[in-house]
Structure 1
Amino acid sequence: MDEDEPSVKHAAEGSALGFLYQSFYALRTLVTLTTDDAAVGVERLDDVELKADGQTLIYQLKHSISTKPPAITLKSRPIWRTMKVWIDALPTLTLAETKLHLVAVGAIPVNSPLVVLTDDNADRADLVAAMTAEAERVLEARAAATKAGKPLPYSDRVDGCRAFVTLAETERLNLLRRAVIRPNSPTVAEIEKEIAQHFHLVLPEYRAAVAKRLVEWWDRQIVYSLSGNRDRVITRAELQSQIMAIVADLEQDKLVPDFLTVVPPDNYQPDGMLARQIALVKGKSFDLKRAIRQEWQAREQRGRWATDNPAMKTKISDYDQVLREEWSYLHEEMVEACVEFEAERKCASGLELLRWTHNEAPNKLPPIAQGWSAPYYVRGSYQVLAINLKVGWHPEYETMLGEDE
């Protein structure tokens, strides 16, 4: 194993969780607001941008995957990187109408000058002086290293230090007057539970499920936003509408198509039997591609239902019997018709049956529950059954694939 691999993996995990933290914190922020016209965007002016009550709130988020997150001090890299981001954004902001938030999971030492940033009304003059002194110390250390021909220190914070001292003293003070630090903030693993605690009008037994489904919906909206497939901002009205829809579904015990717009992860590898079943009837590449996607969607959906409600296991099993029975009528008819057929004709008949599960079965068979209309469940469940040899496409699939096992 490469010696650098653990640290690289750690960095990748940190980056991924850092982005998730942006998304989750944006949702948490919008959930906690009571302003009807509030709207939030991710990765716009800053990690999170919120508009409410005629103000723009800018959030710079600093997440940590450490069990004991590092303290926030004047020497912390996040402080100076945040200063750089905010100072660069100043030309696009009306500072008097903007609040700048640094959100961190770490704590601030009680004797740190940064403590004043936890209080909107505390005087910032001493903090300006302390930050100016620290920034000048960093720049002087680099100048001394340059003169001595030594490696330059503080490369991780120099840009923020230089930007800060470049501002006039009054500009520094005005910047920090609009700045707030939120230390000891919930981690990415804690936010979903905290979001659930804000659903005061939702019955207690539904809160965790509402939060879980809301986070999944929110993640999709963030992806659509960043990819240009929806507006860049998500409004509180949208959020409220989605919460109401989720609660209504839960109260009616309605099955929700959780994976309708979700695709398998890039590294997903289906059971090899799925491909062998399709190869046996000489299916095309598109037959295999869509079968893999639908099988993953159905498998994930079945697992979700069974986890959320163990009683669903019986419903899933009973519906599998419905699918097998409908398939059996067509398969038995095909077997009889193919007795005298050559191998090529048998494959063609089997391919027709495979495509029936995709093109016709979802529309002709009764849904698993009233109101269910997502076709992927029927299509994918047939693939799940095919993997287990409970159904098949070739007239002689049991004999031919049973020999492979």
Structure 2
Amino acid sequence: MTANSNFSATDSALGYLYQVRSALLSSLKRLAKDEVFAVYLETLDDVVFEQDGSAPELLQLKHHCNHAANLTDASSDLWKSFRVWMEGRANGSIPEDARLYLITTSSIGREASASYLMLENRNETEALKKLQATATTSTNQTNEPAYRLFRGLSPDAQIALVSSITILPNAPNISDISEALRVEARLVVRRNHLESFLTRLEGWWYKRVLGQLSTPDTPPILSNEIESSVDDLREQFKDEALPVDEDILGAEVDSTFYDNSVFVQQVRLTGIGEQRILFAIRDYYRAFQQRSRWVREDLILIGDLDKYERRLREEWELQFARVADEIGDDATEQVKREVAQRIYNWMEDSNYPIRSQVRERCITRGSFHILADGLKVGWHPEFMNRLQQVLEPQGIS
């Protein structure tokens, strides 16, 4: 693959990513205005918004890393968009009353035709004159199919097309759009949670968009879906809550990686079945990964985790002491295993949320396994002596 094709692939990927992120940004702006809408990607246009009782809005998005690039009268970005819209109108896929938007990161040259089609200081008559002149005199072969379509329109059709077009220059590029998204989210969560909130919102959005793009006849993304996702995420960033992420909950865990872990050996001492050992491994993974992410994103302090683990250990100490009192010093191994399973069952059924609104019980169970991995808790009445015999040859004590 040549360097040029690499750049081409990168530009194409950035363009698609830009479409997706821009659609999210536009959706959040519309939600802030209490609009009710449906959004489609890659259907009639790059992005399409529909509202009941209103003409659909079709967005063509053009991304350039260089803001300085000008949208001139013969710009390929301009005429490619015109061609899409003219062909769509001709074959009936684009309604005659559709509002057509060209959103570009480029600037517009002074007195260029596009400068007369912006939201302010519109002059459709002057824009039409310049477009007609360009379509007649330009020698740009790339644009010739669009020029030919434009020249073939009746005067009334040309007027109707131009009047339906709005050009929005100097749009934020793929990098700048991050700040624009932060602006929209600032009233949703605390400033120090913005990045974590947006990471999860964009993750949901990409997954939803992928579902729409990859499955024919998938319904559009509705504004109430987006609003619901925003509301759900906002709840997870309140003081009494923490986000529990779907990518962690849904991850496939390689159990063989944990076969020799201390917490797995702790579980095996109880004599429970292999299926529950796999559940233990899954809970350990989920709790470890989620807690690590919370710490990395400054959503929880190490001191808060220490307090939580102290609480879990105190609850375990009480349960463990009760069982020890029941069996005495002369219990058989069978009895010891039975009480180990009782303690383990108690742990599996425990519900000590790290914060009151964190409802995923795998965090509690997995945190117990993290403590068990450090020999701070155990299930078998003699877990410390039994495991030390196994671990001392490995240099662990």
TM-score, length basis structure 2: 0.67
1:40 matches 2:39: yes
User: 1:104 aligns to what?
Assistant: 104
Aligned counterpart in structure 2 of residue 166 of structure 1, from 149, 159, 169: 149
Partner of 2:240: 254
Deviations 1:176-223 (A, max 9, x none): 3322222211233333432443468x48x7356468525623541452
1:137/1:104 Cα in 2 relative to 1: closer, same or farther (>3 Å)?
Answer: closer
Please tell me whether residue 28 in structure 1 is matched to residue 2 in structure 2.
Answer: no
1:236 counterpart letter in structure 2? S
1:378 matched to 2:364 = yes
Q: Does the aligned pair in 2 maintain the 1:302–1:316 contact within 8 Å? A: no
Q: Which residue of 1 aligns with 2:208?
A: 224
User: In structure 2, how many angstroms separate the alpha carbons of the residues matched to 1:4 and 1:387?
Assistant: 51
Counterparts of 2:86 and 2:379, CA distance in 1:
64
Deviation, 1:249, is 5.7
Quick one: structure 1 residues 130 and 58, their matched pair in 2 at CA, closer, same or farther if it must change by over 3 Å?
same
Aligned to 2:58: 58
- When residues 361 and 5 of structure 1 are mapped into structure 2, their CA distance, relative to the original with a 3 A threshold, is farther
Q: Is the 8 A contact 1:257 1:301 kept in 2?
A: no
Q: Does 1:366 align with 2:352?
A: yes
Could you tell me which of 128, 131, 153 is aligned with 1:125? 128
Task: Give the Å deviation of 1:50.
Answer: 1.0
Q: Per-residue deviation at 1:258?
A: 3.8
1:299 and 2:289 are equivalent in the alignment: yes
User: In the alignment, residue 37 of structure 1 is paired with which amino acid?
Assistant: V
- The 2-side partners of 1:386 and 1:67 are apart by 55
Are 1:317 and 2:303 an aligned pair?
no
Structure 1 window deviating more from structure 2 (285-294 vs 298-307): it is 285-294
Distance 1:58 1:340, change over 3 A: same
For the 8 Å contact 1:63–1:187, the answer to whether it is kept is yes
Deviations 1:112-163 (A, max 9, x none): 333223247322313422542477530xxxxxxxxxxxxxxxxxxx4x6425
- Name the % identity: 20
- Kindly indicate whether the alpha-carbon contact (under 8 Å) linking 2:104 and 2:171 is maintained by their aligned counterparts in 1: yes
Say if 2:74 and 2:138, in contact at 8 Å, map to a contact too: no
TM-score scaled by length of structure 1: 0.66
Deviation for aligned residue 1:61: 1.8
Shift in alpha-carbon separation, 1:283–1:99, aligned structure 2, 3 A: farther
List alignment gaps of at least 5 residues for structure 2.
Answer: none
SS of 1:262's partner is helix
Comparing 119-128 with 277-286, greater Cα deviation is found at 277-286
CA contact (8 A) 1:294 1:380 kept: yes
Distance in 2 (CA, whole Å) between partners of 1:293 and 1:81 is: 53
- Paired with 2:159 and 2:280, the residues of 1 have a C-alpha distance of 59
CA separation in 2, counterparts of 1:59 and 1:116?
Answer: 18
Q: Which amino acid aligns with 2:356?
A: Q
Decide whether the 8 Å contact of 1:38 with 1:50 is kept in 2.
Answer: yes
Q: Which runs of 5+ in 1 are unaligned?
A: 139-157
In 2 relative to 1, CA 169–308 (structure 1 residues): closer, same or farther, beyond 3 Å? Answer: same
SS for the counterpart of 1:197 is helix
Partner residue, 2:221:
234
Q: Read off the aligned partner of 1:105 and give its amino acid letter.
A: T
Aligned to 1:182: 168
Cα RMSD, aligned residues only:
5.0
Aligned residue for 2:201, secondary structure, equals helix
From the superposition, tell whether residues 218 and 309 of structure 1 become closer, same or farther in structure 2 (CA, over 3 Å).
closer
Flag the structure with larger Rg.
2
Task: Name the SS for the 1:46 alignment partner.
Answer: coil
Q: Is the Cα–Cα contact under 8 Å of residues 316 and 377 in structure 2 kept in the other structure?
A: yes
